[in-house]
Amino acid sequence: MPIDLRQVAAISGMNGLYRVVAPTRTGVIVESLSEKPQRLVAQARQRMSLLDEISIYTTDEETTVPLAEVFDRINEKFGDNLPLSEKPADHEYKAFMEEVLPDFDEERVYVSDMKKLANWYKIVKQHIGFKAAEKAETEATDAQPEAEEGKKAKKKK
């Protein structure tokens, strides 16, 4: 997947998204993904969800779609221009969701979830960014031969 959400978290009671920086004895140090990043300690009592672990329900009861994959679909389909007005109504969010993930479960995915999805996508797009799929694949394949050459050079010494 072109986007890595393993170090990005949403913290209950706090707006926006945060990058996990380091663990502490009482929680974790996080840095806000905003225009003016701030570092703070998220206490162990605060509920923190890594975006990498979040999925969206689909109509198939056994299947969910990871958030990173949904973000990739949004990026491919819309890029920077989400089809939402300045203050979108509920039906706009539902239409947006149907375009991105046609088989989402309407009973278990609420409009508030759709609002978070759109908001989080904008933050991730601005502060983390997306790699082109071809670039990500070529970087991975280019890195493998270099690593093997490095191992061979060490063995010869």
Q: How far is Cα 60 from Cα 40, in angstroms, rounded to an integer?
A: 40
- The CA distances from residue 117 to 18, 56, 71, 75, 112, in Å, are 15, 10, 8, 12, 9
Residues in the chain: 157
Q: Are 120 and 17 in contact (CB under 8 A)?
A: yes
CATH C-level class of 55-127: mainly alpha
The pLDDT confidence band at residue 79, using thresholds 50, 70 and 90, is: confident
Q: How far is Cα 45 from Cα 2, in angstroms, rounded to an integer?
A: 32
pTM more than 0.85: no
pLDDT tens for each residue of 40-66? 999 888 999 999 999 999 998 888 999
Q: Give me the pLDDT at residue 132, please.
A: 55
Stated as kind and residue range, the H or E segment containing 135 is helix 133-156
